[in-house]
Amino acid sequence: MELLMPGFDSARAIFCTIAWSATLLAALVFVISFFTDFDGGDADVASGTDAGMFSFRAVLGFFLGFGWVGYICQQLTGNVMWASGAGVAAGLLMFVLVAMLIRMIYGLRSDGNISPASLVGLSGTVYVSIPPKGEPGGQVQVAHPNQLITIAAVQQGDEVLPAGSRIVVIDSTVGLVMVKPLS
């Protein structure tokens, strides 16, 4: 190995090769992720499966920690066993930290869709007066746990529900809710 990398013993050369290879690969993944929807195999993290722990980025984190810490410890101590142990420990720490970070980031994902069934039982306020007997034209604002929703509304009552009236959602479909006055 001395011929390939002058001044390096074989252990130092191996640590250095692993460190630089992992660094270049991490930089490449970083740059590619700006231009594509590259998830590096981390998609299974969102589903909460254990396979997400062994994602590409987490394994790459292991090699980054192992390579660089192993190389530095080999430089400082000259002891291959100590450098390998410290490299493995740092690699495992990086692996766990990256996996936890990826799991946390993917846990923040949301498609923004709200299930119509999740609106049933929520209270709100009439935004645009609601005509009687199921006629269209009214709107309500409902405070969903994630956002304030303004949505078309109908009601079965015999009188107009004026703007500002308090209501409760009794049924919901996509884009329309059935409401009744809040008693």
User: Quick one: 16 and 55 in the same domain?
Assistant: yes
User: Quick one: 98 and 152 in the same domain?
Assistant: no
Kindly list the distances between the CA atom of residue 163 and the CA atoms of 53, 124, 135, 156, 172, in Å, as whole numbers in the listed order: 52, 11, 16, 16, 20
Tell me whether residue 66 is in a domain: yes
Tell me whether residue 73 is in a domain: yes
> Residue 72 in contact with residue 89, Cβ under 8 Å?
no
How far is Cα 71 from Cα 145, in angstroms, rounded to an integer? 50
Tell me whether residue 54 is in a domain: yes
User: Quick one: 139 and 74 in the same domain?
Assistant: no
Q: For the chain, what is the radius of gyration of the CA atoms?
A: 29
User: Quick one: 125 and 174 in the same domain?
Assistant: yes
Buried b (16+ CB within 10 A) or exposed e, 123-157: ebebbbebbeeeeeebebebeeeeeebebbbbbee
Point out the domain boundary residue: 42, 75, 107.
Answer: 107
Tell me whether residue 2 is in a domain: no
User: Quick one: 18 and 99 in the same domain?
Assistant: yes
The pair of structure tokens assigned to 148 is 């304030």
- Number of domains comprising the chain: 2
User: Quick one: 37 and 91 in the same domain?
Assistant: yes
User: Quick one: 141 and 81 in the same domain?
Assistant: no
| pLDDT tens sequence for the chain (183 residues) | 444 445 557 888 899 999 999 999 999 988 988 887 655 554 444 444 444 567 888 999 999 999 999 999 998 988 899 999 999 999 999 999 999 988 888 777 766 678 888 889 999 999 999 999 889 999 999 988 878 889 999 998 899 999 999 999 999 988 899 999 987
Point out the domain boundary residue: 107, 134, 169.
Answer: 107
How many Cα atoms within 13 Å fall on the side-chain side of residue 6?
A: 0
Q: What is the DSSP string of 102-166?
A: HHHHHHT-------GGGGTT-EEEEEE-BPSTT-S-EEEEEE-SS-EEEEEEEE-SSS-B-TT-E
User: Quick one: 99 and 133 in the same domain?
Assistant: no
User: Quick one: 22 and 63 in the same domain?
Assistant: yes
User: Quick one: 145 and 95 in the same domain?
Assistant: no
User: Quick one: 64 and 87 in the same domain?
Assistant: yes
The pTM assigned to this predicted structure is 0.55
Tell me whether residue 20 is in a domain: yes
How far is Cα 7 from Cα 89, in angstroms, rounded to an integer? 26
